[in-house]
Amino acid sequence: MPYTSVFDQISTFEWSLAGAVFALVLAVLAFAVFRYRAAARDHASQETEHPKVELVYAVLLLLVAIGIVSYTSQVGQRDSAVASSPAVHLQVTGFQWCWRFSYVGEPVTVTATCQNGHYPTVVLPAREPIHVTTTSGDVIHSFWIPEFRYKMDSFPHHTNSFDLTIPREGQWLGHCAEFCGLDHATMLFHVKAVSPTAFRAWLHTRATTAAAATGGPRS
Amino acid sequence: MTTAEVARPDEVLPSVPHVGGWLLTTDHKRIAAMTLAVATFLFFGMGVLALIMRSQLAQPGLSIVSHDVYNQIFTIHGSGMIYLVITPFAIALGVYLVPLQIGAPAIAAPKTTMLGFWLYVIGAVSLLSGFALTGGAGSDGWTAYPPLSDSQFTQGKGMDLWMFGVFVAVLGMILMSATLLWTVLMKRMPTMTMLRLPVFTWSMVVSVLMVLGAFPSLLAALGLLAVGRMDPSVFDHNIWNIGFQHLFWFYGHPVVYVMFFPFVGAVAEVLSTFAGRPFSGYKPTVFSLLAFAALSMSVWGHHMFTTGQATNGYYQLTSTLLLVPAGIEYFGMLSTLIGGKLRFPVPMLFALAFIPQFLVGGLTGIMVATPGLDYHAQDSYFVVGHFHYTLLAGSVFGLFAGFYFWFPKVTGVMLREGLGKLHFWLMVVGTNVTFLPFFALGMLGMPRRVATYPDLPWWGTLNLISTIGAGILGLAMIAFAMNIALSLTFRQIAPADPWGGHTLEWVTSSPPPPMNFNADWPLPRVTSFTPLLDLRKRAAARAAS
């Protein structure tokens, strides 16, 4: 889950900054409202310009903006490294209104209807780099696993890709994030990460079953 | 028809309307008042739609309305608020006030302004009439991304009516904005230089510049959509799908500031009036508004971080730079309060609440402008929380500050303070109880635009809190409606200047005469952006000497 650590780091940084700014503005506002209320004043200042203060302040703001962008993009860089040899290449296809997951190079596909609680479960190896490509069969969808803090849009007539490493075994819920029509709300899926050994066993079983179902050589 | 009594003999004035009364009026005040009235009426309607949505989402798995109807409701709520309520309200506020604030007797090209109003009304009727069809109204969100919105994936006439309605209403706004800009540039009274324009007028100048620069891009996007409604195969090519998003957001981000700046301007006028001093940091604020508007044309791709087809680093940089002009505006607002002599009638309460509440929207805006964070937050309830803090907790609070401030000027009648305060406090509580949970829900993984959601830990509780908040907002709007009804029925007559205002609209009667100023209500000499404050200072100096 490299995105999770990137997200956490950026999140901590920006929430702290935002919290400090909010507290400061609220404090100044509360001070002003109390200190300068009409009951406590005999006149109002008529001053309109503080050019030097504002100039210094504007430069400060510019530095803060540049600081935010450079820090967060530096942290963000870490997630864009592409694995040279991914353990699995997963093809994710969104359609109205469910998902189809294909393991590229294997005759294995996972899908469901997303109706009446029948959601597909995509099985992946933990701790190994996974290459994900995503596209759509109809309208724009978006492949989002909230616990991984990452999503990528699934466009028709276009393929997006990203790399993913799931650090531990477990099961998580995913949603379609891009509004895609009538049953967008129930376009869910599960991600199940298992040990690499268990994953290969699972993939082998599914491949064998698929071969049997399509009339392959009997064993 | 004589115009001899008007202060400017060099001005060729439109005739005072007598045929058609209100409906064909060329008086900018009547055109604006009608636009404001329609927008306010529709605001209540969009609020009702929001209450239906919040009822449906109060608990997981409810089906008060079907998915199909829910999708129509969130589409019309969002489209209605943006295209038919806040944008028209913002521009109409300018159409009403700007000619008054610059000492002009009329708006330039008033028939074009009036055409803008009627296009807006036709657009609103078209957009909403979809509800009367068996297939229902438009249901693809206010963004209407293809290929979902083409005729293959969204059948029925509701979407066509939506598309036509948005096109026509937005065209109306472009026309109104053009005449407004023309008025400011060409119709200012002598001595009213550009750097003596009131802050509100400047906020309108900047807003209409963005309208003229960015809104045509939406017309182009809708044109593309119209092609797709006739021949959906155009969207079999990715270039037109992603191209639509670029065209849409080139409009879609500046429009956020068109829905925001006029209310910043209103808040600035209210803060300075009730602080008894000129707005502090006038020039930096004017220049930061202009810089803000220019930058706003370069940030649209931050809505597309997850498309995998935008230059994320570039859009992060331009978007984050917006904090510089925004910070300067905040400096102006706070430094106006410091050193002032503050009074707290209802407009001031809304203006004061605007400051921290909009800040929540602004600070979360920096977060969603950061790709590493937005990959999670995008299209989640976090974003819904973010833009409701900018638009409701920010713009609408500014709108109400302006509403209570200028209602006496427009109608000649004062609003009730007591009901106004009730309205205010219910709004503050309702807004924050409704929208704070959205940030948590987004982080927990709740996608936006969902008609229902799974029963996951905290989701039901947070949504229930939000729905209770929406109920409080409903009560606030009832107090607001009662205030308007009561004040218009049992009238407390408003004087010309009930608040001790600083700008020229307060030197004329409430409501102003047809040509705004006349021999009974003459224009004073203008020496700064607060001419009435200067007038009072000169009078005080004379009295002292």
pLDDT, tens only, B130-163? 999 999 999 999 999 999 999 999 999 999 999 9
Contact A54 B338 (CB under 8 A): no
pLDDT of residue A83: 64
Kindly list the distances between the CA atom of residue A94 and the CA atoms of A5, A150, A152, A203, B240, in Å, as whole numbers in the listed order.
27, 16, 11, 21, 19
pTM: 0.94
Average pLDDT over residues B462-466: 98
CB contact under 8 A, A38 and B343: yes
User: Is A41 in contact with B341 (Cβ distance < 8 A)?
Assistant: yes
Distances (CA, A) of A104 to A108, A140, A205, B21, B496: 8, 22, 16, 72, 76
Sign of the alpha-carbon dihedral angle for A131, A135, A140, A141? negative
Of the listed ranges A104-108, B13-17, B303-307, B415-419, the least confidently predicted one is B13-17
Give me the percent of chain B exceeding a pLDDT of 90: 94
Average pLDDT score over chain B: 94
3-class SS letters over chain A: CHHHHHHHHHHHHHHHHHHHHHHHHHHHHHHHHHHCEHHHCCCCCCCCCCHHHHHHHHHHHHHHHHHHHHHHHHHHHHHHCCCCCCCEEEEEEEECCEEEEEECCCCEEEECCCCCCCCCEEEEECCCEEEEEEEECCCCEEEEEHHHCEEEEECECCCEEEEEECCCCEEEEEEECCCCCCCHHHCEEEEEEECHHHHHHHHHHHHHHHHHHCCCCCC
Q: What is d(CA B293, CA B262) in angstroms, rounded to the nearest whole number?
A: 12
From first CA to last CA, the distance across chain B in angstroms is 45
* Each residue's pLDDT tens digit, B191-244: 999 999 999 999 999 999 999 999 999 999 999 999 999 999 999 999 999 999
Separation in Å, CA of B445 to nearest CA in chain A: 5
pLDDT tens digits along A16-44: 999 999 999 999 999 999 999 988 888 88
Provide, as residue numbers in chain B, all residues whose Cβ is less than 8 Å from the Cβ of A79.
Answer: 372
Is the pLDDT at B457 greater than 90? The verdict is yes
In this complex, the residue of B153, B276, B379 whose CB is nearest that of residue A181 is: B153
> Which residues in A lie closer than 8 A to residue B278 (C-beta atoms)?
46, 48
Q: What is the pLDDT of residue A79?
A: 57
CA dist A197 → A98, A124, A203 (Å): 28, 11, 10
pLDDT tens readout for residues B416-453: 999 999 999 999 999 999 999 999 999 999 999 999 99
CB contact under 8 A, A152 and B363: no
Residue of B nearest to A157 (CA): B238
Which tens digits make up the pLDDT trace of B31-50? 999 999 999 999 999 999 99
What is the distance between the alpha carbons of residues A139 and A160, in angstroms, rounded to a whole number?
Answer: 14
Is the pLDDT score of B2 beyond 60? no
Higher pLDDT, A215 or B318: B318
Chain A positions touching B340 (Cβ under 8 A) are 32, 36, 41, 44-45
- Report the pLDDT value the prediction gives residue B4, as an integer from 0 to 100: 41
Task: Work out how many CB contacts closer than 8 A connect A with B.
Answer: 248
Among B56, B66, B75, B148, pick the best mutation site for testing chain A contact (most A Cβ within 10 A).
B148
ipTM over 0.90: yes
The burial of B415, by beta-carbon neighbours within 10 Å (0-12 exposed, 13-18 middle, 19 or more buried), is given as buried
Asked if the Cβ–Cβ distance from B241 to A155 is below 8 Å, we say yes
CA within 13 Å, CB half, B287: 9
Residue B23: the pLDDT is 87
What's the pLDDT score for residue A51?
86
CA distance A106 to chain B (A): 26
pLDDT tens by residue, B270-324: 999 999 999 998 999 999 999 999 999 999 999 999 999 999 999 999 999 999 9
Residue B447: CA count within 13 A, CB half-sphere: 29
Query: CB distance A150–B321 less than 8 Å?
Result: no
CA distances to A184, B190, B514 from B18, rounded to whole Å, are 54, 29, 11
